[in-house]
Amino acid sequence: MRLEAENIIVELGGREVLQDVSASFQPGALTGVIGANGAGKTTLLRALAGLAPVKSGRISLDGEPIDAFDRREAARRVGYLAQKQEPAFPFRVDETVMMGRYPHQGRLSPETEADRAAVAAALRDVDAADLSDRAINELSGGELQRVLIARTLAAQTPVLLLDEPFANLDVRHCLDILAILRAQASEGRTVVASLHDLNLAGRFCDELLLLHQGEILAQGEAGSVLTLRLIERAFGVHAEILPVNGGEERHFILRAMEGEE
């Protein structure tokens, strides 16, 4: 399912957080959204999910305005992982992941075998099957993050939007989740995730979208977006590129600009 933003402007608190942003996200691709804090990454993902109203412009799914779908219909098409989520009630892990299945369930309908299979598969994917009977308020930050990702995956939507999915994850689980997102994209889903680690973004993403002060500074393959000039402009740091694997990959070494150490 193709997801598009066409000349969108999003205003929050009287300030334009996104300014005339246009971007297209294609099935089968993992797109990383990068940029400094306050660049507009979260606002863009919320707008793409239909959760942040646009002042002007349009968000569409396969050409249909996203606001033409009711909430349940939209949730069957777009899965969204918010950046910060605190558990309000001590649900069990399996109950929490089952909540991702609500778009596919009728009101007061019992869980189906398909629902249970989707939940079990999602928990296995994120290495959280052993947490199934635990209460979510007893989990560590990383464990909770994996459970919330599992809830998003359990919905089995054609579009996945994830805002900083690697928060609180250790190195191993971060790599595991990136591999899962790559697999989701290879199955034909449209996957968009905001990232802070430029090395992981360049290694795993098919495309990158670089935001700067609410505008798109660059979009395309990693090599065309992660340039020394654009990194310096967007993040205010100096960058050096270290070739690895015989030059097939690049590793970025970042340091503060002179006088900012």
43 assigned to some structural domain: yes
Helix or strand holding residue 77 (H, E): helix 71-77
Q: Do residue 71 and residue 163 come from a single domain?
A: yes
In a domain, 108, yes or no: no
Residue 170 — φ and ψ, nearest 5°? -75, 175
- Domain check: are 215 and 257 in the same one? no
CB 42 within 8 A of CB 25: no
Burial of 100 (C-beta count, 10 Å sphere; 0-12/13-18/19+): buried
Of the chain, the end-to-end C-alpha distance in Å amounts to: 45
Residues 207/208/214/216 CA torsion (nearest 10 deg):
-60
The reply to whether 200 falls in a domain is yes
Co-location of 48 and 146 in the same domain: yes
Closest CA to 148 of 133, 166, 130: 166
Same domain, 217 and 254: no
Q: What is the DSSP letter of 41?
A: H
Nearest Cα to Cα of residue 32 among 171, 167, 221, 174: 221
**CATH code of the domain containing 61:** 3.40.50.300
Q: Same domain, yes or no, for 176 and 254?
A: no
CA 132 to chain centre: 24
pLDDT one-digit tens code per residue, 153-188? 999 999 999 999 998 999 999 999 999 999 999 999
Range of the structural domain that residue 150 is part of: 3-88+140-226
Q: How far apart, in whole angstroms, are the C-alpha atoms of residue 176 and residue 157?
A: 20
Q: Directed axis angle between helix 141-154 and helix 113-125, to 10°?
A: 140
* Cβ neighbours around 102 below 10 Å, total: 16
How far apart (Å, rounded) are the C-alpha atoms in residues 28 and 51?
A: 24
Tell me how far apart the alpha carbons of residues 179 and 165 are, in angstroms, rounded to a whole number: 13
pLDDT above 90: percentage of residues in the chain: 81
Return the pLDDT at 97. Answer: 97
Residue 80 in contact with residue 196, Cβ under 8 Å? no
Averages of pLDDT over each 10 residues, the chain, 261 residues: 96 94 97 97 97 95 93 94 85 96 81 95 97 96 96 97 94 95 97 95 95 97 94 94 79 78 47
Cα distances from 46 to residues 100, 113, 221, in angstroms, run 17, 31, 23
Tokens of 100: 């991702």
Please report how many Cα atoms fall inside a 13 Å half-sphere around the Cα of residue 135, on the Cβ side.
Answer: 7
pLDDT of residue 86: 78
Q: Are residues 212 and 241 in the same domain?
A: no
Whether residues 174 and 219 share a domain: the answer is: yes
Q: Which residues pair with 6 in a beta bridge?
A: 58
pLDDT tens per residue, range 33-53 = 999 999 999 999 999 999 999
